[in-house]
Amino acid sequence: MPFFYQQNINETAHLAIWSIQEPASFFETDVQLAIPITNEERRTQHLAVRLLFKLMMPEADLSQLVMADNGKPYLLGLPFHFSFSHCKGYAACAVDDQPVGIDIEIIHPRIAKVAHKFLNEKEKAMLANLDEKEQLNQLAFLWAAKEAMYKKHEQLGIDFAKDFNILELTKGDRGTVPAQILHKGHHISINLDYHFGTDYICVTCYS
């Protein structure tokens, strides 16, 4: 079976990850892209996540896929919601009966260079006393979590540091962390399901 990782988060929310080891030609036998992508690695990632989604939800017609203003893919008229993510070597998809967001990131020191763009003061304080390795893992989690929150919230004009508030750091390789979306008068409590792989963090944001 092509799934690298599968998980039922709850009764309605499900996720799957594909470890991409195949060339683009492997995926192109089953799925096509509406808009050509010249970069081979990027094209393979986009193809892989679509094939993963097709395997999870075979009733979905990918030819009807459209993109919203915030870049989120939609299939009009479906009774469920979904979210895509991909990074070097991996494609991830989450499906739920409510809006959902997923993000997968390679854990890499470059995340620290952009941390000022997405951390608020409370989150910085939670990181302050961690050793270098654990700080990097938590930075990767916080970044992936806020990307997943953005995909779920589906609103433009988000300030990752100001509008997204993550209340706890991770404990262990897999679990759930509470968070809040504070944007344009909204105060929404959400859940962040996470798991760490050998070189990645995957976070799914759901109600």
**What pLDDT was estimated at residue 1?**
46
Give the pLDDT score at 172: 95
Does residue 73 have a pLDDT over 90?
no
CA distance 70 to 17: 23
Q: Please tell me the least confidently modeled range out of 58-67, 122-131, 139-148.
A: 58-67
Measure the CA dihedral 136/200/31/101, to 10°: -60
Give per-residue pLDDT as tens, 189-203.
Answer: 999 999 999 999 999
The domains located in the chain, with CATH, are 5-102 (3.90.470.20), 105-206 (3.90.470.20)
Q: Could you tell me if 180 and 188 are in contact, meaning their C-beta atoms sit under 8 angstroms apart?
A: yes
List 183's β-bridge partners, or say none.
186
CA distance 94 to 90: 14
